[in-house]
Amino acid sequence: MIVSKQLNMHKHRSFGRPLPFVLIIAYKAGWGFIEVVAGTLILLSWHIITRELVEDPNDLFLNWLLSHFPFGPGQALPLGAAIATFGSAKIALAVGLWFHPRLTRQIAVIFLIGAAIFGIYTSVHAFSLFKISALGVELIILAYFIFVLPQHLNDAALQQ
């Protein structure tokens, strides 16, 4: 609330919506798209790796890759499907926020709390600066959704 008033975020608009709201939707949609592509590539990668090794059994890169990252068809399906599903959920969340922000805000808060809990869990068990940075971004977005977005939703531009 205070941050929103200090930065006059209500005055900064893009596509008729508050700029932070548009940036968060773009961020979620962009990462969702990347995760869908990554999940699809993981699903298809085992077939590509197998075909490449059949063509050239001495392929140094693929042999190095398989020796350092044991990866088979049993891991490709669940991992690729999970990443693609999570990315699809982010895209659905972004689309829902754009078209139905009041309804989707509540779903987004639950989604972001789950992501934050998972981020805290993974950061405690395997610390890295990247994980802490990603957790920080999720917590900032969560704070925006809880404290600032309700003010923005009272704005006439977002009335449904």
pLDDT tens profile 8-58: 545 566 677 888 889 999 999 999 999 999 989 888 887 777 777 777 777
Confidence of residue 1 (pLDDT cuts 50, 70, 90): very low
Domain boundaries, the chain: 2-158
Cα–Cα distance between 25 and 15 in angstroms, integer? 12
**What dihedral angle (degrees, nearest 10) is formed by the CA atoms of 114, 120, 124, 129?**
130
State the pTM of this model: 0.72
Token couple for 136: 């920080």
Token couple for 139: 């917590």
pLDDT tens profile 120-160: 998 898 888 988 998 898 899 999 989 888 887 775 444 44
Cα–Cα distance between 51 and 126 in angstroms, integer? 34
pLDDT, mean of residues 55-82 = 76
